Amino acid sequence: MVKAANSRGTAPGTPPRTRILIVGGGYVGMYTALRLQRKLRAGEAEVTVVTAEPYMTYQPFLPEAAAGAISPRHVVVPLRRVLGKCRIVIGQAQRIDHSKRTVTVKTLATADEGAGPLEMEYDELVLAPGSISRTLPVPGLADYAIGFKTVEEAIGLRNHVIEQMDIASSTRDPALRDAALTFVFVGGGFAGVEALGELEDMARYAARYYHNIKPEDMKWVLVEASDRILPEVGPEMGIYTVRELRRRNIDVRLETRLESCENRVAVLSDGARFPTRTVVWTAGVKPHPILAACDLPKTERGRLACTSFLTVEGVEHAWSAGDAASVPDITASEKGHECAPNAQHAVRQAKVLADNLLAALRGEVLTEYAHKYAGSVASLGLHKGVAHIYGRKLKAYPAWFMHRAYHLSRVPSFNRKMRVLSEWTLSGLFKREIVSLGSLEHPRAEFERAAGGGPKPPSPPSAPNPPQNSQG
């Protein structure tokens, strides 16, 4: 175990600076650090952010990145650029011992150093690791499915869909062609519906450039276990979404579960079987594993038990918000309700969390987090969408425009806003890109073939050293 050099950096005779450690570089982690670096006084505290990736992903733009409407690099925000006054540590938090105020971190250099993970000390902890995909023990899921939570998955899925169209266009096997042109999405929430809507729209456009593929040759299936999709936009807009998707010849199956996808065959609970080379899993999320490796109080669902002040219940100097936190919704008409784990709450909670942390350092009064849910917007492809905002219901082009306008206003940094806006403008003037860059996932493959590389056979065991003559 190596102790990190966490110098307070203060002059002799002055009180040491408070060490604020933020675990997680997502919505809560980045926005909290951003607000702290703007409002901290000189020498008041030092902020360290521990994150697995050097960027924050703006997840509402993942479907458009998958469809090619936005460049992948504009969906992410580089933390080192926006958090210039913070220390950024790229690594995985493995264990948190709040009683000792330490976090064990495995960095990119840990394996090469051979000295074990870092042990970082702190005075104030902000635990915001977010969530990970919630999977079920479905046979074949781990072998064949792809998630839709990261920018890498979004771009990988885009490349995969276009590659399947290339396979279908070139094969002489009808069964292979049908499997390549069948796309199954599991989960009727925002991620599943928006990803399906954008990719189906993109593939429909791309089909015009294939001499032997028509849009009606492709089969798109949405599988949802409950009796409706997009519950956040309300029942009426949910019904409209189902009707709109089915109008586009998308097979929407409600109250249905994926039971198996072994051997590239999706078997559903209603008895349907779809030979397919594409299964996209978007059926919910679960708390990050680091929560199970910390000594902070948690709820039955594994999230941190928090107060409305965004402190961890019954614990001093520990804060949390976002997907990892169970925060009471004090605006709800009935007690016991929690804030939904979504970006709308996470961004606003980060602001209150940072202000409360500063107030605690300065001995001031803390503020409760209160935000009445404003509504939701969802894109269903180019010029298609649904929205339910402040009681108003929108659909088709107005909802799609609202979706873009809202998220453009929320994406962090003026730099990213202008880049996204310029890409949208250019995409309206020029044709879509339909290129698959699947080789990006294996960048050394071509060089290995040229160099005669590839997997090496195991070396034969070396002969034991001959006995040495002590006389020399």
Residues in Cβ contact with 97 at an 8 Å cutoff, skipping those fewer than 6 apart: 103, 104, 294, 295
Contact assessment for residue 48 and residue 89, using Cβ atoms and an 8 Å cutoff: yes
Tens digits of residue pLDDT in 37-94: 999 988 899 999 999 999 999 888 899 888 888 888 888 999 999 999 999 999 999 9
Rounded to whole angstroms, the Cα distance separating 449 from 199 reads: 32
pLDDT for 8 equals 53
- Mind giving me the DSSP string for 171-213? -S-HHHHHHHTEEEEE--SHHHHHHHHHHHHHHHHHGGG-TT-
Contact assessment for residue 201 and residue 383, using Cβ atoms and an 8 Å cutoff: no
Tens digits of residue pLDDT in 424-459: 888 777 777 777 676 666 666 777 777 876 555 555
Rounded to whole angstroms, the Cα distance separating 194 from 21 reads: 35
Q: What is the pTM of this model?
A: 0.83
Low-confidence ranges of the chain (pLDDT < 70): 1-15, 436, 438-444, 453-472
Residues in Cβ contact with 342 at an 8 Å cutoff, skipping those fewer than 6 apart: 232
Rounded to whole angstroms, the Cα distance separating 434 from 175 reads: 25
Rounded to whole angstroms, the Cα distance separating 31 from 25 reads: 9
| Residue among 47, 44, 48, 36 nearest 10 (CA) | 44
Residues in Cβ contact with 90 at an 8 Å cutoff, skipping those fewer than 6 apart: 51, 52, 53, 54, 107, 108
Please give the biggest Cα pair distance in the chain.
Answer: 96
Residues in Cβ contact with 398 at an 8 Å cutoff, skipping those fewer than 6 apart: 387
What does each C-alpha distance from 376 to 212, 234, 245, 280 come to in angstroms? 39, 9, 18, 23
Rounded to whole angstroms, the Cα distance separating 49 from 418 reads: 26
pLDDT for 15 equals 62
pLDDT for 215 equals 93
The token pair that represents 305 in the structure block: 């038990």
pLDDT for 472 equals 33
pLDDT for 364 equals 92
pLDDT for 467 equals 43
Rounded to whole angstroms, the Cα distance separating 370 from 309 reads: 9
Strand order in the sheet with 102-107: 2-3, 118-121, 102-107, 87-97, 45-51, 18-23, 124-127, 318-320
| Residue among 266, 247, 248 nearest 256 (CA) | 266
pLDDT for 205 equals 92
